[in-house]
Amino acid sequence: MAIKTTNDKGLTYFYRTIGAAALVWTVTVICSASWNIYNERQQTLALVKKEALANFNKDYAFRLWGTKHGGVYVPPTGQTPPNPYLSHIPDRDITLPSGKRLTLMNPAYMLRQLMADFDELYGINGRITSLKPLNPSNAPDAWEREALTAFEKGAKEFFTITEHHRQRSLRLMRPMVVQAGCLKCHAHQGYKEGDIRGGVGVNVPMAPYMTMEKKAINALLLSHLVIWSIGSTMLVLVFFRGKRFILGQVKSQKAIMQSEEFVDSIVENIPDMVFVKDAANLRFVRFNKAGEKLLGYSREELIGKNNYDFFPKHEADFFTIKDREVFSNNQLIEIREETVRTRHGDEKVLHTKKLPILDREGNPLYLLGISEDITERKQAEKEIRKLNEGLEQRVRERTVELEAKGLELRDSQRALVNIVEDLNMKTEELKKANIKLQEMDRVKSMFIASMSHELRTPLNSIIGFSSILLNEWVGPVNAEQKGNLSTILRSGRHLLNLINDVIDVSKIEAGRIDSVPEDFDLHDVIEEAVHFFAKEIDEKKLSLTVESIHQEMHTDRRRLLQCMLNLLSNAVKYTEKGSVSVQARLGVRDRNLVEISVEDTGIGIREEDFPKLFNAFVRFDSPMRASIPGTGLGLYLTKKLVTEVLKGDILLSSRHREGSTFSIVIPARIDEKGFGNRG
């Protein structure tokens, strides 16, 4: 936005002044030069005239001298012959007693010769002329005639600058007055004393003076040019400095105006009420938009008025006291909370700061006020206070409740402490019982271990001797006896198996079974196990499939064989028709593992029975199983041996009435301490 300032006009005025000064200066210098040239010319003229007069005076003096003496006699020469125009004078020519001849030279004649010589010597020539010359060669030229005519009319002098003999010259002529001496020669012409007989003129060539004058004028012009240039340079300097100064003024004025606009826009955009009062009367002189909005009055209504024109007296009194307080110390005051009634009658709570604006001498000029509307904040604070009070009340109530609960809790705590004490006591008792049980377990294991020998010895005798009798190695037995002997043999074997299993279980539980690894071929163990049941499989007309691998093993061979026998025993026991297959292969993901599965197409196992299957003494009741003998220890023992001795795992998949597959996955090698080695 272009702001036209008074200084813009100042700049125009300045340009004009400088222009006028330059014009005046130039005209002055031109006038001075002209005046000086004119003077120079006048001086030249005066000089030339002076020279002309000097020559004239000399001629005049010389002629006067000649006239006074009535002429002079000179010896006649070729250059000065006897003057024929004086022939009427009787003594024109005389002869001296010595015989020397002399002729009379009248003043004019003398002068003419002098002038001719002078002209030859110095270039300044003179002439004597007359309207009635005796000598026709003295007849006047046009200029001389004019001069002579002027003399006749009474002029005492005639001079002009004119062209003479093709050069510029000053020509001066003065009248020649008839004197007594003149009459000697000119009386016959009718002249009497006092008449104007003619004129004596001097002709001074101007050329040398003109040269001097030209030089002087040139010097004058040069000096004027120099003076003009100095003056003009000064003017140019003044112009630029003045222009810079004025532009600076313009700029600063604009800056001030812009800064005022800037301040205005800030004040207008401040969201708080901003007002200014004059210090003398405390009347509003300024109000911003936020103030208008807050109070509901337009600034036109407010400007020029004071507190009492708008606000209730008690409010106006308060505001005025505070305004005066500002000026009493000339420092800022802060009113944290004051209420003001607006045009619409509602009350606003303000947080106001008032500060004095002073002049350079420190006298108060204005009061600046900034008021923030804190009505909503105050309202919110009030509500928060109310809420707080409610909360405090509730906290108090709750505290009472909590204290009551605390008492209850203390009782409960006490009860809890008693319970914990009881529990500790029970734990102690349990610990003691546990130790007792462990002791009993140890005693049981010791009992079983020692009893196993005592039980197995007679059992082996029963099995051995009943087998000898049944095979009729000691003599023939009848059919009934054979039946009884078979029962004895089967029961003995069952009992032996049971005893063996019980012993193994008790050993495992007592942690007394160690791995005894040895090197062997897996194929051999599988063959051995399958061979054990070959006869029974054949008798039951089951088909047998064996897929085996020659894998070098380093593990507990005896326990692996025991596991295989248990699994095969079950497969054969619980399969009435179909097949039993044994498969051995290396682990699919880990080639250091060996997986041996025993699959049958027997009665299968229900899925819900899976979790209980590997527990000790678990046998499932079903009509199909009723006649099948067993102890419920086989799978329990197998799992224990696979996991704890062979360091592997046992997996089961089975479908009821369709068949079962038991797989044991074990490392091919375990170290002496019995840890699985997977390469």
What residues between 81 and 110 interact with ligand ADP by CB under 6 A? Answer: none
Give the C-alpha separation, 252 to 470, whole Å: 140
* One-letter identity of residue 450: S
What residues between 30 and 69 interact with ligand ADP by CB under 6 A? Answer: none
* One-letter identity of residue 88: H
Binding marks (x or -) toward ligand ADP, 131..160, rule CB under 6 A? ------------------------------
| In the complex, minimum distance from the CB of residue 572 to ligand ADP, in angstroms, rounded to a whole number | 8
Binding-site member from 351, 353, 585, 625 for ligand ADP (CB under 6 A): 625
Give the C-alpha separation, 561 to 521, whole Å: 12
Closest to ligand ADP by CB, 410 or 619 = 619
Binding-site member from 176, 246, 631, 666 for ligand ADP (CB under 6 A): 631
Long-range contacts, stretch 21-27, CB < 8 angstroms, 24+ apart: 21/235, 22/232, 22/235, 25/228, 25/231, 25/232, 25/235, 26/228, 26/232
Binding-site member from 66, 126, 291, 630 for ligand ADP (CB under 6 A): 630
* One-letter identity of residue 142: A
Cα Rg of the chain, angstroms: 82
Of the listed pieces 49-57, 90-98, 439-447, 566-574, which binds ligand ADP according to CB under 6 A? 566-574
Burial class from Cβ neighbours inside 10 Å (0-12, 13-18, 19+) for residue 102 reads middle
Closest to ligand ADP by CB, 459 or 505 = 505
| In the complex, minimum distance from the CB of residue 578 to ligand ADP, in angstroms, rounded to a whole number | 11
Output phi, psi for 313, to 5 deg: -55, -45
- Kindly give, in sequence order, each residue whose CB lies less than 8 Å from that of residue 587, ignoring residues fewer than 6 positions away: 593, 594, 595, 665
Angstrom CA distances, 254 to 162, 251, 452, stand at: 69, 5, 123
Closest to ligand ADP by CB, 462 or 616 = 616
What residues between 650 and 669 interact with ligand ADP by CB under 6 A? Answer: 660
Decide if residue 508 touches ligand ADP (CB under 6 A): no
Binding-site member from 140, 199, 634, 667 for ligand ADP (CB under 6 A): 634
Closest to ligand ADP by CB, 369 or 602 = 602
Classified as helix, coil or strand, 233 is helix
Q: Under a CB-based contact definition with an 8 Å cutoff, are residues 641 and 614 in contact?
A: no
| In the complex, minimum distance from the CB of residue 413 to ligand ADP, in angstroms, rounded to a whole number | 51
Binding-site member from 206, 463, 571, 580 for ligand ADP (CB under 6 A): 571
Output phi, psi for 87, to 5 deg: -65, -20
| In the complex, minimum distance from the CB of residue 514 to ligand ADP, in angstroms, rounded to a whole number | 23
Closest to ligand ADP by CB, 312 or 632 = 632
| In the complex, minimum distance from the CB of residue 620 to ligand ADP, in angstroms, rounded to a whole number | 4
* Beta bridge mates, 369: 275, 354
Closest to ligand ADP by CB, 478 or 627 = 627
User: Nearest to residue 324, comparing CAs of 362, 277, 377?
Assistant: 277
| In the complex, minimum distance from the CB of residue 498 to ligand ADP, in angstroms, rounded to a whole number | 9
- Kindly give, in sequence order, each residue whose CB lies less than 8 Å from that of residue 239, ignoring residues fewer than 6 positions away: 18
Give the C-alpha separation, 174 to 202, whole Å: 9
Give the C-alpha separation, 405 to 44, whole Å: 139
Closest to ligand ADP by CB, 294 or 568 = 568
Of the listed pieces 120-128, 413-421, 485-493, 569-577, which binds ligand ADP according to CB under 6 A? 569-577
Decide if residue 504 touches ligand ADP (CB under 6 A): no
- Positive or negative, the CA dihedral 429, 431, 434, 440 is negative
Closest to ligand ADP by CB, 477 or 544 = 544
Give the C-alpha separation, 514 to 216, whole Å: 148
* One-letter identity of residue 487: T
Closest to ligand ADP by CB, 515 or 570 = 570
Give the C-alpha separation, 95 to 111, whole Å: 24
Provide the CA 37 distance to its chain's centre, in angstroms.
72
Of the listed pieces 78-86, 144-152, 567-575, 670-678, which binds ligand ADP according to CB under 6 A? 567-575
| In the complex, minimum distance from the CB of residue 630 to ligand ADP, in angstroms, rounded to a whole number | 2
Of the listed pieces 53-61, 180-188, 366-374, 633-641, which binds ligand ADP according to CB under 6 A? 633-641
Closest to ligand ADP by CB, 571 or 642 = 571
Of the listed pieces 67-75, 173-181, 478-486, 625-633, which binds ligand ADP according to CB under 6 A? 625-633
| In the complex, minimum distance from the CB of residue 625 to ligand ADP, in angstroms, rounded to a whole number | 5
Closest to ligand ADP by CB, 480 or 608 = 608
What residues between 595 and 624 interact with ligand ADP by CB under 6 A? Answer: 600, 602-605, 613, 618-620
- By CB under 6 A, how many residues form the interface with ligand ADP? 21
User: Nearest to residue 48, comparing CAs of 117, 123, 104?
Assistant: 123
Closest to ligand ADP by CB, 377 or 619 = 619
Binding marks (x or -) toward ligand ADP, 513..552, rule CB under 6 A? ----------------------------------------
Decide if residue 574 touches ligand ADP (CB under 6 A): yes
Take residue 658 and report the two structure tokens written for it: 């369709």
Closest to ligand ADP by CB, 469 or 605 = 605
Output phi, psi for 141, to 5 deg: -85, -175
Comparing every residue's Cβ against ligand ADP, the nearest one is 630
Closest to ligand ADP by CB, 48 or 567 = 567
Decide if residue 371 touches ligand ADP (CB under 6 A): no
Binding-site member from 347, 632, 653, 658 for ligand ADP (CB under 6 A): 632
Long-range contacts, stretch 406-414, CB < 8 angstroms, 24+ apart: none
Closest to ligand ADP by CB, 398 or 577 = 577
Give the C-alpha separation, 59 to 201, whole Å: 9
Burial class from Cβ neighbours inside 10 Å (0-12, 13-18, 19+) for residue 320 reads middle
User: Nearest to residue 354, comparing CAs of 246, 243, 273?
Assistant: 273
- Kindly give, in sequence order, each residue whose CB lies less than 8 Å from that of residue 206, ignoring residues fewer than 6 positions away: 44, 48, 161, 167, 168, 169, 170
Closest to ligand ADP by CB, 130 or 660 = 660
| In the complex, minimum distance from the CB of residue 585 to ligand ADP, in angstroms, rounded to a whole number | 20
- Positive or negative, the CA dihedral 98, 103, 106, 109 is negative
Angstrom CA distances, 294 to 285, 343, 345, 373, 380, stand at: 17, 9, 12, 8, 19
Give the C-alpha separation, 679 to 670, whole Å: 10
Closest to ligand ADP by CB, 394 or 657 = 657
Q: Would you mind telling me the total number of residues written for the chain in this entry?
A: 679
- Kindly give, in sequence order, each residue whose CB lies less than 8 Å from that of residue 170, ignoring residues fewer than 6 positions away: 45, 48, 49, 52, 159, 160, 161, 203, 204, 206
Binding-site member from 570, 581, 597, 601 for ligand ADP (CB under 6 A): 570
| In the complex, minimum distance from the CB of residue 634 to ligand ADP, in angstroms, rounded to a whole number | 3
| In the complex, minimum distance from the CB of residue 512 to ligand ADP, in angstroms, rounded to a whole number | 21
Query: Which residues contribute to the site for ligand ADP (CB under 6 A)?
Result: 570-571, 574, 600, 602-605, 613, 618-620, 625, 630-636, 660
